[in-house]
Structure 1
Amino acid sequence: MILWLNGELVPASQARIDPADRGFLLGDGLFETMMARHGRVAFLDAHLLRLARGAEAIGLALPLDPARIATACVKLLEANGLADAPRAALRLTLTRGPGPRGLALPPEPAPTLMIAAASAAPPPAGLTAIVATPRRNNRSPSAQLKAIAYLDNVLAKEEARARGAEEALMLDNDGHLACASAANIFIWENGRLLTPSADCGILPGIVRAAILELAPGLGVETLEDRIAASRLSRIEGAFLTNSLIGVVPLTRIGERALPAAHPLTARLAAAYELLLDSADRNG
């Protein structure tokens, strides 16, 4: 595997990150996970805008402008033989770089920027889920940042595996539905499409935004809302979204089976695929 690290393409076996890097020691950094199709990164501008906004929020200057980061992604795909791959995953990690011991910010940060690429499997037809014990802290300033400190989500995902499910649904500290371990969630309730609101500790996802834009054109009423966990027992269907899986239905939550092929979920998934195809042709 070839990595892009601080401006250079290097074999993963030769890559070196400073042992004092604050991303490694403190989780002081951000990341983006992106999907590329035949060498073109889907919603690249939106990902880089979110990265830039997140970096500004934590007081970290991007070491490269978005155009150069975009070029790095293309070169990395080529270096790994993925320029023609139907699906490839890109992981961009930005940290504040090395610093002295303790929590105080380094006076002159030297950020670390790394991009990795790998082939990506097709998304599953459906997923099962449980409501996990770990919570999303909706009062944390990092809740809406794609921060690399992901331990709560890791533990939630492991709980799902231990309980025989594939995904973990996480609640916020007030008991409202927030997200899955690495995805946003939508539910169907009384014919409307609902998704947790921004104050529920969610990361506002790129695909989430696309679905909210596409839905009205299909005659689907949407609502961003605080969704109590008890409402999950009455929903008509649900699906997850993220940049790698796109739109994937949930077939079971806990012991309750859900309709595997809600017709409106299928229509939204098809509209999203058309959006990707259009971006590929026009990008």
Structure 2
Amino acid sequence: MICNLNGRFVSADDPLFGSRDGSWRFGDSLFETMKARDGQIRFLERHLDRLQDSANLIDFPCDRDSITAALNAALQQAGPGLARIRLTLGRGNFTTIALPDKSSGYFLIEVTAAEEPDDSEQRDGVRCIIAPNRRVNPLSHLPQMKRGNYADCLYAANFARSKGAREALFLTRKGLLLEGATSNIFLIRDETLLTPILGELVLPGIIRGRVLELAGEWEMRIETREISLDELYLADEAFISNSMIDVLPVATVDEHSIRRGPLAQKFLAALKNENAVT
């Protein structure tokens, strides 16, 4: 693993933070997970835009120029191949709810080798289950940010793994589909692309946005709206998306088989050809 703290390379084995750090004490951090190939980060500016928007919303320090320079340095050291990049923002030390001065803020970049999903997952699809926990406050803006307090997603993702599933899907209290613990979700029904609307506890995923752009370029019908679980069960096909997997078809949800079609593969092929897109 390559680690860069505030523009300085450090060892992943060295202690970097103390017990007073707010990211450890309160889960008070923001992060982005990005995919790089041969030294190029896909959709870098989109990731940084989202991070900056979140930082502005909750008053986080975010030195974009310094972060970009450190990312480039880390990728040069990483060399060729596929990499996963975790970029984390922290405020520094504080032990009460009184926030510290922004001058104590930091960023941490971690670069590790990565692999594409298995061919079988891309071809045959993955198993999903319904998360046991619900998202119930549609007025909260926090799930729309990638933040360190990841308890609901960790709980759901671990539940999915314990059941042999790739992803857990969140529902509202009314049973409407939201997103996965680590992904956005799309349905195809009657040649229309459907996905849950933003602003209702749904993260504005980077690949989600690109899928919608591609669908527009292909002149597909698109609907962003409330989606019931029954609509998912009856979909012509469904797929999940995030920055590391691009898209993966959904084969089953709980015990319900989901039909498969050509569009998930079409989106996957298009995204694979966009390594350098920003």
What corresponds to 1:131 in structure 2? 130
Pairing 1:36-55 to 2, within 5 Å after superposition: 36-55=36-55
Q: 2:72 aligns with which of 71, 74, 80?
A: 74
Alpha-carbon deviation of 1:151?
Answer: 0.7
- The alignment yields a C-alpha RMSD, in angstroms, of 1.7
Distance change >3 Å, CA 151–CA 278, structure 1 → 2: closer
Deviation at 1:191, TM superposition (A): 1.9
Q: Given that residues 61 and 106 in structure 2 are in contact (C-alpha distance below 8 angstroms), is that contact kept between their aligned partners in structure 1? A: no
Cα 1:145/1:278, change in 2 over 3 Å: closer
State the shift of 1:107 in Å. 4.5
Runs of 4 or more off by more than 3 Å in structure 1? Answer: none
Matched residue type, 1:74: N
Q: Distance in 2 between matches of 1:154 and 1:35?
A: 21
Query: 1:248 aligns to what SS in structure 2?
Result: strand
Whether contact under 8 Å (1:135, 1:173) holds in the other structure is yes
Q: Which residue of 2 aligns with 1:230?
A: 230
Q: Distance in 1 between matches of 2:47 and 2:255?
A: 36
Partner of 1:103: 97
**What letter matches 1:83 in structure 2?**
G
The question of whether the paired residues in 1 share the 8 Å contact of 2:23 and 2:29 is answered with yes
Q: How does the TM-score come out when normalised to structure 2? A: 0.92
Separation of aligned partners in 2, 1:160 and 1:108: 38
1:109 is displaced (CA, Å) by 5.2
Q: Secondary structure at the match of 2:112?
A: strand
1:30 is displaced (CA, Å) by 0.5
Identity rate, percent: 35
Is 1:83 matched up with 2:79? yes
Equivalent position amino acid for 2:65 in 1: A
Q: Distance in 2 between matches of 1:155 and 1:277?
A: 32
Kindly provide the CA deviation profile for residues 110-140 of structure 1, in whole angstroms up to 9, marking residues without a partner as x: 1121010001111232311011111234332
Aligned equivalents of 1:199, 1:6: Cα separation in 2: 32
- Greater relative contact order, per chain length (Cα 8 Å cut-off, separation 6+): 2
The reply to whether residue 144 of structure 1 matches residue 138 of structure 2 is no
Q: Secondary structure at the match of 1:200?
A: coil
CA distance, structure 2, for counterparts of residue 3 and residue 97 of structure 1: 17
The 5-angstrom pairing of residues 1-283 of structure 1 reads: 1-62=1-62, 64=63, 66-79=64-77, 82-85=78-81, 87-99=82-94, 101-107=95-101, 110-124=104-118, 125=122, 126-136=125-135, 137-260=137-260, 262-274=261-273, 276-277=274-275, 279=277
How far apart are 1:60 and its partner, in Å?
1.6
CA contact (8 A) 2:232 2:238 kept: no
Deviation at 1:209, TM superposition (A): 0.5
Task: Give the Cα separation in 1 of the matches to 2:16 and 2:164.
Answer: 38
1:74–1:83: 8 Å Cα contact kept in structure 2?
A: no
Offset of residue 36 of structure 1? 0.2
Residue ranges of structure 2 left out of the alignment (5+ in a row): none
Range moving further from structure 2, 126-135 or 106-115: 106-115
**Structure 1 range deviating more: 161-170 or 111-120:** 161-170
Question: How many pairs were matched up?
Answer: 272
- TM-score, structure 1 length as denominator? 0.90
**2: CA distance, partners of 1:127 / 1:238:** 10
